Structures are given as C-alpha cells and as structure tokens.
Amino acid sequence: MILTFEQALQTIKEKLSAAAPSIPTETLPLAEVFGRILAEEVFADRDLPPFHRSARDGFAVRSGDFTALPVTLKCIGEVRAGGYFHGSVGQGQCVSIMTGAPLPDGADAVVMLEDAQVEDSQVIFQKPIRAFENVIHKASEAAQGERVLSSGQSLGAGEIGLLAALGKVSVKVFRKPLVAVLATGDELVDMNQKPEWFQIRNSNSALLAAQIAQAGGIAQIFETAPDEKTALRRLIEQGFIADLLLLSGGVSAGKYDLVEQVLAELGAEFYFQKVAIRPGMPVVFGRAGEKFFFGLPGNPVSTYVTFRLFVRPTIRALSGAPFAKPLFLRARLASSVSRKPNLTTFVPAWVDSREGVPTVDLVKWQGSGDLVGLTAANSFLVVHPEQAHLEAGDWADVLLVDH
Ligand code: AMP
Ligand code: MG
C-alpha cells in the first residue's frame, strides 16, 4: 500500500505517541544546553521586571501634572540603571531618569528626552502624557512563581537568556537519542578509500550524521553493509542497540535490495514501505521490538529529503519535543513548473526576496543522485499531488533546508 505524504507523517506521529518511550534526563550547566529540549517546568523566581522600569532616557513625571500644556516642572534629582531614587516625586516635580532605572515613588510616567526642554533646573513639556507611558509595569512579563517555560520546549538563545535572567544556572534536559546509521550497498567504499571506477564512496553516512546532529541526535555510524543477508542481518542487529536505526539503500525493488527481507526475518513490523513522494518513494518505516527504524532510499538526495521530512520530526520527538510536521512557507514562483501528478514532489530551489516578495526558483538539478545540485539550493519547492502544473507568479509552498 502506498501512503500519501500526509498519511505517512500521521502514521509516524501516531506510532511514536502510542509507544511513548520514556526519555532519560540529565541536568547540565546552562552553557551546555543550547539546542536541547527542556525536561522541567521553569518558574519566575521574581517578578519580571522586578520594578516599574523606565523604557526611555528622559524624565519621570506625575501624569496628573499634565492637565494644561505646556507643563513646567522642577527637576529634583536623577536616577540611573543600577540605582534608585531616595525620595519621592511631588506635585510640580520631575526626576531625570535613564533607561532601565526604577521609576521613583510618586512618578507614574516617563517623558522621553526628545520631548523635554531643559532650562536650568526647570523642564518644560509641550506634549500630553498618559499614566505608565514609557514604563514597563512591574511583573508585566511574568509574576514571581509564574511558569515561563515548559517541558518539551526547545532551548534556543532566547530561552537561554530567560533562564539566565532567572538565575537558573543548571537545567534539566532530555538526553539526546542515539541514532545508528547503516549504509548498505556492494558498490560502496569508505569515504577515505580510493574507489575503483565502478565503485562509489559512501557519502550517505556522513550526510546523515550531519542531519542527525542538526536534529539533536547523536549519530553512531556502522561499517557499510554489503548486499548479502548474513552480514546485513548482523549489522542490523547491532544497529538496534541505538534508540533509532537508519538504513540507507537497499529498499527499492531490485534483486539485491535486501533490507526489508532481513528486517522481516528479524520480526519487524512495517508501518509503510512506500510513500507518494518524489524523490524518496521507497521510504520504509517500522519497528522491531522496542525500536523504530527507517529504511531510506540510497540516492543521496532521496536520503536527504526523506530524512528532512520524516526522520527529523522523529528524532525531535525522541528528544522530548512534541511531534512537529515540516513547516512549509509560501513564495512566488519565478518560472512555471510541471511535475508528475499524484505525488508530493520536492524540487531543490533557491528562495530569496525580489522587490520585497519571497520568490522561489529552481536550481540546476539532475535528479535524486545529484548532490552538486542539492548544494546549490537553500530550499525545496513543494509541488502537491493535485498541482501538476504551476505558472510563473503562482504562490507555492517552500521547505527551507536549514529550518
Ligand atoms: P539503492 O537505494 O540501494 O537502490 O541505491 C540507489 C542509488 O544510490 C545507487 O546509485 C547507489 O549507488 C546510491 N547509493 C546508495 N547508498 C549510497 C551511499 N551510502 N552513498 C552514496 N550513494 C549511495
Ligand atoms: Mg543498493
């Protein structure tokens, strides 16, 4: 049975959530958690901001003084970030204030410097002001005790900044999943060997290791498996030590495509063995015992695309994040495109801004073996099954490669 792209993703999502593997956690220093998935709830240890904070350089004033313009106030002092005003702003008074400083008692707004005219100790204001203008209210970002981050959230630079602001110097995160990589094919030699004219270097193991690292997993590369059952079986059994096994090659219909046969002999259950996508139609997903596996087609761009579409979300889920389908963005087509109908097709493309409009154009590409073409792309144009033909100027879906 052949699944649609959407059905294949849905299948993976359901199988992973039904298995709900418990993921071990570890506590690491903040400097080591970038890109990891949070495994605890994080609460504000104090109000954010901890005081009414000035958002501008200017004058702290009482908005009640601004009934008739212009307003002239007496400047009675100064407050800067890192200090506080020892006293209170009374009627007819103001205090010079810097960005980040706490609003003095009595004041309820800040007039920015550009809107004030200083004459000795007098300041003249021409414009009206509302209460709390240019002031960030105490606790407006989060109140003390409020949850600010949840388990399952990805820790990017912003999250790390927030954790630092809360004084959270060590953080509980999920362990990275171990992902076994097993390339198959009699034609393959190791990348540091010189191939005979009829051989090719194994590039998929290195390619997959990079994609695994980017997805948040740890790659474990196995020796290349020949197209021979006994050796293949031995290596597949070893590969199941990891949290997830990725095989490349040997999943098409050829006489020496033995991956599925060997997996079946090991008692594997197959959830799909074909998806209506191009490249990557023969992609396989299943489970043997506790462990999930993917059989990825061996053509390097097929390997790349099927990883990006199906394996990346799986690794994220095995890292503790919610399952997330690949996100497509929209761009305008630079030239017309025709593709075989009834398939979801991913075509290497370049997307950039032309006259302010995101625009996508195809790159020179020879098909699913063409890594040179792939490296000229920063995205894939997504042609949906019902979209056999798209015109220049049409809006189309785009998958960014580094997203
Ligand atoms: P297969 O999926 O085994 O039928 O392989 C399809 C194509 O991908 C063939 O041209 C293979 O030589 C090539 N291929 C398979 N595995 C790799 C690999 N690990 N590195 C580079 N090319 C590969
Ligand atoms: Mg092969």
Domain assignments of the chain as residue spans, ordered by start: 5-24+175-318, 27-48+140-174, 53-136, 329-400
Is any atom of ligand 1 closer than 6 Å to the C-beta of 319?
Answer: no
pLDDT for 245 equals 98
Point out the ligand 1 atom lying closest to the alpha carbon of residue 282.
Answer: 2
Assess whether the C-beta atom of 182 lies below 6 angstroms from ligand 1.
no
Distance 279 CA to ligand 2 centre (A): 16
Residue nearest to atom 15 of ligand 1 (CA): 298
Long-range contacts: 125-129, Cβ < 8 Å, 24+? Answer: 125/59, 125/61, 125/66, 125/69, 125/70, 125/71, 125/72, 125/73, 126/69, 126/70, 127/69, 128/66, 128/69, 129/61, 129/63, 129/66
Q: Could you tell me the two tokens for 384?
A: 């949906």
Class assignment of domain 53-136?
A: mainly beta
| C-alpha–C-alpha distance, residues 348 and 124, integer Å | 62
Q: What is the pLDDT of residue 265?
A: 97
CATH superfamily for 329-400 is: MoeA, C-terminal, domain IV (2.40.340.10)
CATH homologous superfamily, domain 27-48+140-174: Molybdopterin biosynthesis moea protein, domain 2 (3.90.105.10)
Residue of the nearest CA to atom 5 in ligand 1? 298
Q: Is 262 in the pocket of ligand 1 (CB under 6 A)?
A: no
Q: Which of 394, 229, 215 is closest to 312 using CA atoms?
A: 215
The rounded average pLDDT for each run of 10 residues, N- to C-terminus, in the chain (403 residues) is 97 96 96 98 98 98 97 98 98 98 98 96 97 98 98 98 98 98 98 97 98 98 97 98 98 93 97 97 97 98 98 98 97 95 96 98 96 97 94 97 72
The pLDDT assigned to 402 comes to: 75
Please name the fold of domain 5-24+175-318. Answer: Molybdenum Cofactor Biosythetic Enzyme; Chain A (3.40.980)
Question: In this structure, how many other beta carbons lie within 10 angstroms of the beta carbon of residue 195?
Answer: 14
Closest ligand to Cα 201: 1
The whole-number pLDDT of residue 21 equals: 83
Query: What's residue 188's pLDDT?
Result: 98
Q: What is the pLDDT of residue 211?
A: 98
Comparing CA positions, the residue from 150, 148, 153 lying closest to residue 165 is: 148
187 lines ligand 1 (CB under 6 A): yes
Per-residue pLDDT, 20 = 86
What is the rounded distance in angstroms from the CA atom of residue 366 to the CA atom of residue 161? 44
- Residue 369 Cα to ligand 1 midpoint, Å, equals 8
DSSP for 157-179, please give it.
HHHHHHHHHTT--EEEEEPPPEE
Q: In the numeric block, which tokens belong to residue 98? A: 């810097």
Nearest ligand to the CA of 295 is 1
Smallest-distance ligand from the CA of 299: 1
CA distance 324 to 39: 17
E-only strand ranges, 229-356 = 244-248, 269-272, 277-278, 284-288, 291-296, 329-333, 337-338, 344-354
> What's the rounded Cα separation, in Å, for the pair 310 and 180?
16
Residue pair 87/111 in contact by the 8 Å Cβ criterion: no
| CA–centroid distance, residue 42 to ligand 2 (Å) | 48
What is the Cα Rg of the chain in Å? Answer: 30
